[in-house]
Amino acid sequence: MAEKAKQTAKPEVPDVDVAEEAKEPPPVDVVDLCHETFQKTAEYLRGELEGTIEDYKLLEKMNKVTICKYSEMKHIALSVGGALQELNEKYKSLQPYLDQIDTIEESVSALEQAAYSLDHYSKRLEAKFKSMEKR
Amino acid sequence: MASATWNQETKHRLNEKITSNVNDMGSLVRQITRGSKSTELLAQAAKNFASQEHHIQGSSEAVKKMDIVRSQLEFQEAAIERSLMHLDEVQDQLATIK
């Protein structure tokens, strides 16, 4: 009756009795040696993968260096873009003055032409005066 | 101790089994890495990266030159602004001459 109660109490395998084999605990040196064996095996397997790991590390380093270069370029390009926009605005504000400079340049050219004509006329006048003086 | 009760043959077989298992694990790992072709792919990626380095360097230098040109443009704009201060004076003199 007690056994039947035990059997019905276990929900997973109600019809099977589970028994454990009586074992001695493993010796300490065997446990240590097993531990060392598994450690060394893990190191060996890690060593097999070391080449691939180093390749990945190299790619990671190259990627990081490239990221730095690109971020530097981005920083410079942003500052250049902002500065050029400001310069465009400033040149737009200077446009009336540049138009005035054009007007001044035309006036100065006309003045220069007038000065040349005056100089030429004065030389002709001088030459005529001298010829009249000789008579 | 339990190990003392084992005979030499059992120990020898156990040793061989463990050695064979470890060698098999190593071969398995090597086969996995070879089958995934990760070495070739990673080497190719590193070569491509290295080949791009020249272009990246050229772009970086071009951007730095642009920065220098930008600063020169700023200097020139400042000089133009300073010169424009004298514009009124020049216009007055021209008006006088005319």
Model confidence at A117, pLDDT cuts 50, 70, 90, reads: very high
Backbone angles phi, psi at A80, to 5 degrees: -65, -45
A48 to B29: CB separation less than 8 angstroms, yes or no: yes
Of A1 and B52, which is predicted with more confidence? B52
- Asked whether B39 and A48 are in contact (CB, 8 A), the reply is no
Residue range(s) defining the domain that contains residue B31: 1-36
| Chain B interface, best mutation among A62, A86, A92, by max B CB count within 10 A | A62
Domains of chain A, by residue range, sit at 28-134
Residue A26 pLDDT grade (very low, low, confident, very high; cuts 50, 70, 90): confident
In this prediction, residue A70 carries a pLDDT of: 95
Query: Which chain B residues are closer than 8 Å to A41 by Cβ?
Result: 22, 25
Q: What global pTM score does this model have? A: 0.64
Q: Does the residue B1 lie in any domain?
A: yes
Q: Provide the pLDDT for residue A22.
A: 67
Residue B75, both tokens: 């200097």
Question: In this structure, what token pair is assigned to residue B70?
Answer: 């930008």
pLDDT attached to residue B91: 85
Alpha carbon B44 to its chain's center: 15
- From chain A, the residues in CB contact with B79 under 8 A are none
Q: Considering only alpha carbons, which residue of chain B is nearest residue A24? A: B2
Q: Does B74 touch chain A (CB under 8 A)?
A: yes
Q: Is A21 a residue whose pLDDT tops 80?
A: no
In angstroms, the CA A26 to CA A14 distance is 32
- Measured in angstroms, the CA of B96 and the nearest CA of chain A are apart by 12
Ordered alpha helix ranges (H), B1-98? 2-5, 8-36, 38-84, 87-97
pLDDT tens digits, one per residue of A29-41? 889 999 999 999 9
Residues contacting A72, CB < 8 A, separation 6+: B60
Identify whether B95 is part of a domain.
no
Q: Is the Cβ–Cβ distance between B94 and A108 less than 8 Å?
A: yes
Residue of B23, B38, B78 whose CA lies nearest to A55: B38
> Any chain A CB within 8 A of the CB of B63?
yes
Task: Give the pLDDT of residue A1.
Answer: 47
Q: CB–CB of A62 and B49 under 8 A?
A: yes
Task: Evaluate whether A76 touches B63 at the Cβ level (below 8 Å).
Answer: yes
**Quick one: pLDDT at residue A44?**
93
Q: What is the pLDDT of residues B4-48, one digit of tens each?
A: 556 888 888 888 999 999 999 999 999 999 999 999 999 999 999
**Domain assignment of residue B98, yes or no:** no
Residue A101 has pLDDT above 50, yes or no: yes
Q: What is the mean pLDDT of residues A94-120?
A: 91
Nearest-CB residue to B66 (from A80, A91, A97): A80
| Nearest CB partner across the interface for A59, out of B45, B73, B74 | B45
Least Cα separation, residue A41 to chain B (angstroms) = 7
> What is the domain count for chain B?
1
- Cβ separation A30–B77 shorter than 8 A: no
Residue B87's Cβ-count burial label (10 Å; 0-12, 13-18, 19+) is middle
- Give the separation between CA B63 and CA B58, rounded to whole angstroms: 9
Interface pTM, i.e. ipTM: 0.72
Looking at per-residue pLDDT, the higher value among B83 and A10 belongs to: B83
In-domain check, residue B17: yes
The predicted-structure confidence for A42-86, as pLDDT tens digits, reads as follows 999 999 999 899 999 999 999 999 999 999 999 999 999 999 999
Structure letter (DSSP) for residue A26: P
Q: Is residue B96 part of a domain?
A: no
